[in-house]
Amino acid sequence: MTLVSDSPEETTEIGKHIGRHLIKGQTAFIFGELGSGKTTLIKGAAEAFGIPARDITSATYTIIAEYEGTVPFYHIDLYRLDDIRSIEEAGVFECIGPGKAAAIEWAEKLDGCINGGIRIHMAYSEHEKRIITIEGIDEKNWDYNQAG
């Protein structure tokens, strides 16, 4: 499924809908270059767990940020990690599992280690547009209607 977001606010709204699909202990793997809107989308996903969007930030040296939501919610940023070994050592895989929810930026770094979950690719388009491609969501239960 491919959506076009016209603003940061719309990306957060799309993230919130994605978050509702994460409740059953799934992980969102987010791909896309610098500034493509990964953190902006995760703000919305966090809201789906009762965590205020403003609490989600992108501190340079934070790899794993844990939040107390309706279930433990992990915002993970792999930007500074270079290989699977360092990702493992950082404890990323412990954040994935039943009863937890995680959203991972720079999923490119996981290389071939991704199975299942929701995969989201973010790409620039003109001005404030972003193309958001979502895989792994049952489209029958996807109730987001784009305005306009």
Distance of alpha carbon 90 from alpha carbon 81, whole angstroms: 9
Q: How far is the CB of 10 from ligand ATP (least distance, A)?
A: 6
From the list ligand ATP, Mg ion, none, partner contacted by residue 7 (C-beta under 5 to 8 A by kind): ligand ATP
**With binding defined as CB under 6 A, does residue 15 bind ligand ATP?**
no
Residue 147 interacts with, from Mg ion, ligand ATP, none (CB under 5-8 Å by kind): none
Owner of token pair 């340079």:
60
With beta carbons less than 8 A apart as the criterion, state whether 45 and 53 touch. Answer: no
| Nearer residue to Mg ion within complex by CB, 26 or 39 | 39
Sheet holding 72-77, edge to edge: 2-5, 130-135, 118-124, 27-31, 101-105, 72-77, 64-68
Backbone angles phi, psi at 138, to 5 degrees: -70, 110
Query: Per CB under 6 A, does 11 bind ligand ATP?
Result: yes
State the minimum distance, in angstroms, from the CB of residue 34 to Mg ion: 8
Using CB under 6 A, which of 32, 44, 69, 117 touches ligand ATP? Answer: 32
Per CB under 6 A, 128 contacts ligand ATP? yes
Q: Which is nearer to ligand ATP, 32 or 69 (CB)?
A: 32
- Indicate the SS3 state at residue 33: coil
